[in-house]
Amino acid sequence: MGGRGRRVMTWVGGVAFAGVAVAMGVYFGRVGLEDADRTASVIGAFVALVSLAVAVYPLVTGSRGTGGGDLGDARGATYNTVEGGTVHGPVVQGRDFHGDITLGAAPPRPQEPPDGERGTAR
């Protein structure tokens, strides 16, 4: 989700939270403190049950959640490959490289023969 979508969802969540808080305050103010206490206890019990189910579900199903991509094998190893191009020396892999990047020395250029030894075209 992009930055704008995240911002919208944050605002929607905040407004929903504020609406529920105001509605609960009005309701509890009308029914009285004792009935409000009983209702809050029942709501709290249901919230605790839902929270427990959300916490236990991944353990029961063996789900590891939605990660950010390839997690490698079970030992946590990551495998990378380099394809195409010409590589001289070690390969450095990373993310979000921009522009011309030179690591280490470039390969030596072929030497030209001295002036008198140049071949002639036939």
How far is it, in rounded angstroms, from Cα 67 to Cα 76? 13
Tokens representing 58 are 């991944």
Q: What does the pLDDT look like over 59-89, one tens digit per residue? A: 888 876 555 555 445 556 667 777 777 777 7
Q: Are 102 and 109 a contacting pair, CB within 8 Å?
A: no
Mean pLDDT calculated for residue range 89-97: 72
Tokens representing 103 are: 């690591």
> What is the pLDDT, as a whole number, of residue 38?
92
What is the predicted pLDDT for the residue at 2?
A: 65
**pTM: predicted TM-score of the whole model, two decimal places:** 0.39
Rg of the chain over all Cα atoms, to the nearest angstrom = 33
H or E element in which residue 54 lies: helix 33-61
